[in-house]
């Protein structure tokens, strides 16, 4: 189950005046900066901010808009024409958040992995490479392709296991083409009830604003941070239990 929005981070922080100095580090002339794999935002000495890094795999059928979503989340121009990704493409996205309880600011670095469906089928190593040490998976479907929506359950079951410690979110693309939609709101609601996963909607041209990508990036940040906190707590409890067992042996 995902974390309720705004329970861990300030969900509308990108609109707050005190966030401007931090968001200015990922902007250039009011547009998002493009970061390479080895690049990071330049921080002045007075900004003591930690960067937390996560790998995110974008999964979906051919044509649902995986590459376009990566570009959208990074604030880059969308591809003019559709082409299938021939191998693995990576896109780096930086996103600052403020934690609700402590007020601490973190810079999340999402490394988005996108791989074409044909490449996954042709080369056995592609999917394992995308899944290796992955922290989150975005499962995509298109509102104009009923088959991609019906395939979601198969996607989730094929790529993940119940024991996986992976954040799972679902994104419906081409939501702006509502006149041609093959997926109804009741379909989406039923899916959410069955799987317990949130469904986000994207579509249209990329604007300069941060508001259109904030819900997805905040959800990734919030769920990944929660997942790490739970894991750290489990390790701490296990360590304490081991210490207690050691102490009891010494006493005996």
Q: Does residue 31 sit in helix, strand or coil?
A: strand
Residue 250's pLDDT is 47
Residue 183: closest CA among 142, 139, 216: 142
DSSP per position, 95-144: EEEEBTTT--EEEEEEEEEEE-HHHHHH-TTHHHHHHTT--EEEEEEETT
Token pair listed for 96 = 């600052």
Going by the DSSP 8-state scheme, the letter that residue 9 receives in this structure is B
Q: Does residue 162 sit in helix, strand or coil?
A: coil
Token pair listed for 202 = 């994207």
Distances (CA, A) of 22 to 50, 95, 137: 12, 9, 26
Q: Does residue 57 sit in helix, strand or coil?
A: strand
pTM of the model: 0.87
Residue 252's pLDDT is 42
**Beta bridge pairs of residue 50:** 106
Q: Hey, what's the torsion of the CAs at 194, 200, 201, 204, to 10 degrees? A: -150
Per-residue pLDDT of the chain (252 residues; tens, 9 = 90+): 678 888 999 999 999 999 999 999 999 888 899 999 999 999 888 888 999 999 999 998 888 889 999 999 998 887 666 667 667 889 999 999 999 999 999 999 999 999 877 667 777 788 888 889 999 999 999 999 999 999 999 999 988 887 788 999 999 998 887 677 889 999 999 999 999 999 999 987 666 578 889 999 999 999 999 999 988 887 655 555 555 454 544 444
Per residue in 197-211, is it b (16+ CB within 10 Å) or e — as a string?
Answer: bbbbbbbeebeeebe
DSSP H or E run through 172: strand 167-173
Token pair listed for 137 = 């998976």
Residue 67: closest CA among 54, 55, 47, 81: 81
Residue 245's pLDDT is 53
Sequence-ordered list of residues with C-beta below 8 angstroms from that of 196, at least 6 positions apart, any chain: 1, 2
Token pair listed for 223 = 């769920």
Distances (CA, A) of 85 to 39, 119, 156: 23, 8, 21
Tell me the pairing of strands 136-142 and 50-59: parallel
């Amino acid at each position: 189950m995902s974390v309720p929005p705004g329970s861990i981070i300030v969900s509308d922080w990108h609109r707050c005046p005190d966030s401007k100095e931090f968001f200015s580090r990922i902007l250039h002339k009011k547009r998002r900066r493009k970061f390479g794999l080895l690049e990071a935002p330049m921080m002045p000495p007075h900004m003591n901010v930690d960067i937390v890094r996560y790998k995110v795999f974008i999964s979906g059928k051919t044509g649902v808009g995986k590459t376009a979503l990566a570009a959208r989340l990074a604030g880059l121009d969308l591809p003019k024409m559709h082409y299938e990704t021939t191998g693995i493409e990576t896109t780096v996205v930086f996103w600052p958040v403020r934690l609700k309880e402590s007020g601490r600011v973190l810079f999340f670095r999402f490394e988005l992995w996108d791989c074409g469906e044909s490449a996954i089928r042709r080369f056995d190593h592609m999917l394992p490479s995308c899944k290796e040490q992955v922290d989150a998976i975005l499962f995509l479907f298109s509102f104009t392709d009923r088959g991609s929506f019906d395939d979601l359950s198969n996607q989730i079951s094929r790529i993940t296991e119940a024991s996986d410690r992976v954040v799972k979110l679902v994104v419906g693309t081409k939501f702006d083409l509502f006149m041609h939609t093959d997926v109804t709101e009741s379909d989406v609601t039923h899916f959410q009830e069955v799987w317990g996963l949130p469904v986000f909607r994207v579509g249209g041209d990329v604007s300069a604003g941060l508001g259109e990508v904030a819900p997805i990036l905040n959800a990734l940040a919030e769920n990944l941070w929660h997942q790490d906190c739970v894991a750290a707590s489990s390790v701490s409890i296990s360590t304490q239990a081991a210490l207690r067992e050691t102490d009891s042996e010494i006493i005996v």
